[in-house]
A and B are shown apart, each in its own frame.
Chain A
Amino acid sequence: MLILILRRLGSMVLIMLVVSLILFAIFETDKLAVAGKVLGPYSSTEQREIWLEENGYNQPFFTRYVIWAGNAMRGDFGQSLQLKVPVSQVLWPRLANTGILALCLFAIMIPLSLFMGVLAGMKEGSFQDRAITVFSVLTTSIPEFASATLLTAVFVFGLGWLPGTSSMTAGFSFKELVLPVLVLLLYDFGYITRMTRASMAEVMNSQYIRTAILKGLPYQRVIMRHALRNALIAPFTVIVLQLNWLLSGVIVVEVFFAYKGFGKLLLDAALFGDIFVIEACTLVAVFVAVASQFISDIGYTYLNPRIRFS
């Protein structure tokens, strides 16, 4: 087990190294271009040269990479070109905002989708199964910005119940969170539900469930004691990995509703060419993804006695 954790940690570090190297290579190999971005398109070559010299850009590539990576690890990602403030100053509050969104989402989605999935998988082919399955395909088939559009059309323009933007200019407001969370929920819950359903259905068809039934156990005990535990291992890993998905989905939703989160920051930076913000955001996103992969791997091993004790 310990070995496994160490090995996973090792590969996690390795991936982070490679990803950061790739990022650095993409954005900062061409030094003059970097200086051009910083100083603006109308800066002269001499000005750029001076800036490069001042900021230590004339060192060899790998030395620069090491310094850059070291700074990044300390949370220093440089100065945002667009917002003219240190990247870390915008990054963390934005991440926190996205965190709130994610928290609300998970708090509703996990119980809901697990429950629906178990309900559907318990009796394969039954009415409840078909209804839940069709509903979840339907909702996952609507891309986030399309469902955002449709929901806005109904709740904002049609009924006028909810605000159409969530920029929270007048302070934090739950009302403004409703639509973004709803959109993410619609898109993501179907996946976990279907995953849970498949896993549950497989377990219910397994021979050990047959054994449990033929032992004469009450149906409730068969489900609670024998089925759930095995059926929830797979969804657990999916839920953790969902963080990675969420980071994708969140961009669209934040842009749509003008929510001041991490995703909007990244997109704005990408459109503007704000390389230091892009670097920072990508690194953070990849770190979240890799870390969730790590947690999911370890969790899977822990939940699965067959691997845990071998």
Chain B
Amino acid sequence: MSTTAANTIERPSALSRFFRGLGLLRESPIGMFGAALVLFWVTMAIIAPILPLLDPLAAIMPFQKIGAVAPDGTTFWLGTDDKGRDILSRVIWGSQRVLVWASLATVVAYFFGMLMGVAAGYLGGWWDEVISFIGNVLLSFPVMILYILIVSYLGASGINIVIAVTFASAPGIMRIVRGLILDLRTRDYIAAAQTRGEPAIRIMLVELLPNARGPLIVDACLRLGYTVVAIATLGFLGLGLPPPDPDWGLMIKEAVPLGSFAGHMMVIPALALSSLILGFNLLADGLREISLRD
């Protein structure tokens, strides 16, 4: 073979690989439906600023029913709340808020969880003992109690919610990663890397972690869902993102006492929230189904 042959070798682009991966999802109708739901809310969150929405904070007319039209001709597609704010606009802006904080919290939790998990799984010994013990201590708190403790202690704010979620989720992520690593580290390619004297840090981050990504993507999807629930629940309990910016949990909390005559105020955010979480759960299910097939 001539050396010129080498130059004719074509390298598949990263983009094409990504799209092929996405195409696989087509084979799971459930996963597709989940992806559509998630995508819908993500799109809403992104384009919220350019949508022709009413000001989510402006008090216009209280207690308007779904589809009511104001004298000046503005339509309240989903009605208004007790303070006269447009519910449609609040729900969409609320989606942006919850998605931003949930993603941020999940990413941070994953960062710590993965580091701990890889170290515990690969280095073993004392590392494992200590990290696992820390994990066990944190996991012994019922999650909601941990949230309440941290948020009530630090005060209710976005950053503190991120901290709370990190404390609550990182140990779980750590356990999953640790389990995956314990399995992966027995593979021959790890032995091969060890026998050519690769440093531990490279083995952990380059040789091991990328191969754990399959189950982790599924888990991340589920966890995003949990985090959305957690943020909304904290909001509902009065420990969430501070008002007046729209927050789904808080919207429901405020609507419950008025439920007997303004039911739409509580039902609409509840549906929005449920559909987003359903989206994450179904997407995770679909991804799992696909990964199991290959």
A and B touch in the complex (CB under 8 A): yes
Please tell me if B30 contacts chain A, counting CB pairs below 8 Å: yes
Chain B residues near A301 (CB, 8 Å)? none
Total interface residues on A, CB under 8 Å, equals 49
Q: How large is the interface on B (under 10, 10 to 19, 20 to 34, 35 or more residues)?
A: 35 or more
Q: A15-B136, A153-B263, A153-B267 are in contact. Are A146 and B141 (CB under 8 A)?
A: no
CB of A137 within 8 A of CB of B278, answer yes
Chain B residues near A271 (CB, 8 Å)? 152, 238-239
Please tell me if B236 contacts chain A, counting CB pairs below 8 Å: yes
CB of B149 within 8 A of CB of A270, answer yes
- Residue among B144, B252, B281 with most chain A CB within 10 A: B144
Q: A19-B140, A19-B141, A285-B142 are in contact. Are A251 and B267 (CB under 8 A)?
A: no
Q: How far is A278 from B150 in the complex, measured between Cα atoms in Å? A: 12
Q: A19-B137, A19-B140, A149-B266 are in contact. Are A142 and B237 (CB under 8 A)?
A: no
**The residue from B152, B225, B263, B282 contacting A157, defined by CB atoms under 8 A apart:** B263
Please tell me if B153 contacts chain A, counting CB pairs below 8 Å: yes
Q: How far is A184 from B263 in the complex, measured between Cα atoms in Å? A: 22
Chain A residues near B239 (CB, 8 Å)? 270-271
Q: A137-B281, A143-B233, A270-B152 are in contact. Are A11 and B136 (CB under 8 A)?
A: yes
Chain A residues near B232 (CB, 8 Å)? 143, 145-146
Chain A residues near B266 (CB, 8 Å)? 149, 152-153
Q: A245-B142, A266-B148 are in contact. Are A145 and B263 (CB under 8 A)?
A: no
CB of A164 within 8 A of CB of B259, answer yes
- Nearest CB in chain A to that of B261: its residue: A157
In the complex, how many angstroms separate the beta carbon of A49 from the nearest chain B beta carbon? 25
Interface code A142-179, partner B: CB below 8 Å = 1, 0 otherwise? Answer: 11111101101100111000001000000000000000
Q: Could you give 18 example pairs across A and B, Cβ below 8 Å?
A: A15-B137, A26-B149, A141-B274, A143-B233, A147-B270, A149-B266, A153-B267, A158-B263, A244-B142, A247-B145, A251-B145, A252-B237, A267-B237, A270-B149, A278-B152, A282-B141, A289-B142, A290-B140
